[in-house]
Amino acid sequence: MKHELYEDVIEAENSSQGFGIYRYNRVISVNKYLNNGKWIIGEGTDENIPFDCTSLIREEVKDWEKVEDIIRRFTIEGVKITVKRVKRRLQHKDKICEEDKIVNYVNFNGNLFAFTGSPRDIGAVLDYLKIETPRSLTRIWSIDRTAVILDPEASAKVFHEIFSLLKGDSPRVKKNEKLFSDLSIYDNPENPFSVGFYAFDDEGTKARKKEIIGDGYVLDYLGTLTTKLGTPGNGRGIIPKPDYFTLEIRRGDWGFQEMIEDTKNGILVLGAKSTEIVKNSVRLVPRESILIGNGSIILREIAIPFQEFLTIDGISRETKNVIIDEEHGGISPFIRIHARPILY
């Protein structure tokens, strides 16, 4: 199989040091073949590969020639915009699959959002990122295990860490094991707006929405043609490894305002600077924390032990598209869970 990746990148930044537009590109072209269940770089005879992908040239590609003029209008002080035209091409025997799309990254004073689609929509994203509501700061001296409402960005980033345990080559959770109270999570590479949109994975498997967690139980793993576990379709990279594309959490029945009113002495987490797994818990560093009814507070991090995921008792009807990182998108609701806030 021949694997080609071409990225043409345009960056515009306006800061106190001045304004500039920069352009560069990256090209990767390799031959690889599947032998005894492993991908090998070089010339060789492929094993029988279910190469069922379909080519897709997205509509927004027509705006590429005007992209510099478009982003120049939106790049105000404090803004950095990166627009990538990403073209992938896989050839297996006589069949060729191509994908051509545009991915946009908008950073306003450190607040980042990204989407696949026309750069003409950058203005609307920028307007959204500019919205900030000043809040008073409340000092607290101690707080114990309590109800925590994670906003869509924070909840998506927490479950990003859980998905790292569900890779078909090295799963750390057993199939059919119950991880959560009533919660369903999908990987959806077909989401057209997400930064994680893919028409096919890097093994030539057609992109399909996959239910990974169903009603709290592990139903499937992130699988590839080379993993022993998991349905294929999650191969990413020149040497494909299992990974997800867009994490989608099924919406619940709660209204966000109803959840706030029902959460006494709880904490609302808005955004996440970082998340990681530490021993048997997910640690989240909030972008902002609010003691419900009292105003903003300063927390070092939120610790969510794995067993606390069974305490999820609220999932909102409202959902939001979020960026988890430059490669992964998410659609997530507000989620209420019990956790342990850690103060400075």
| The predicted structure's pLDDT at residue 76 | 80
CB 134 within 8 A of CB 302: no
Does the structure show a pLDDT above 60 at 137?
no
Per-residue pLDDT band for 128 (boundaries 50, 70, 90) equals confident
Least confident range of 62-76, 155-169, 208-222? 62-76
CB 167 within 8 A of CB 224: no
- 233: number of Cβ within 10 Å: 25
Q: Counting runs of H as helices and runs of E as strands, what totals does the chain give?
A: 4, 22
Classify residue 294 by its DSSP letter: T
Report helix angle 122-130 to 67-74, nearest 10.
20
Least confident range of 81-85, 138-142, 231-235? 138-142
| The predicted structure's pLDDT at residue 78 | 85
Instruction: Provide, rounded to the nearest whole percent, the portion of the chain with pLDDT above 90.
Output: 77
Instruction: Could you list the beta-strand ranges (E) of 61-126.
Output: 79-92, 95-108, 111-116
CB 266 within 8 A of CB 256: no
CB 220 within 8 A of CB 233: no
Per-residue pLDDT band for 144 (boundaries 50, 70, 90) equals confident
| Cα 130 from Cα 135, distance rounded (Å) | 15
CB 34 within 8 A of CB 46: yes
Residue entry with tokens 């299992």: 242
| The predicted structure's pLDDT at residue 340 | 93
Does the structure show a pLDDT above 90 at 44?
no
Of 101, 89, 120, 274, nearest to 195 by C-alpha is 101
What are φ and ψ of residue 198, in 5° steps? -140, 135
Q: Which residues pair with 337 in a beta bridge?
A: 148
What residue ranges do the domains of the chain occupy?
2-130, 134-344
- DSSP strand pairing (56-57 vs 95-108): parallel
| Cα 110 from Cα 106, distance rounded (Å) | 9
CB 259 within 8 A of CB 314: yes
CB 297 within 8 A of CB 269: no
Averaged pLDDT, 299-307: 93
CB 60 within 8 A of CB 70: no
Averaged pLDDT, 122-126: 90
Least confident range of 66-75, 135-144, 301-310? 135-144
| The predicted structure's pLDDT at residue 135 | 56
| The predicted structure's pLDDT at residue 132 | 59
Give the tens place of pLDDT for each residue, 180-203.
Answer: 988 999 999 999 999 999 999 999
Report field, pTM of the whole predicted structure over 0.85: yes
| The predicted structure's pLDDT at residue 139 | 56
Average pLDDT, the chain: 92
Six-digit token string for 184: 């369903």
Give the tens place of pLDDT for each residue, 68-78.
Answer: 999 988 888 88
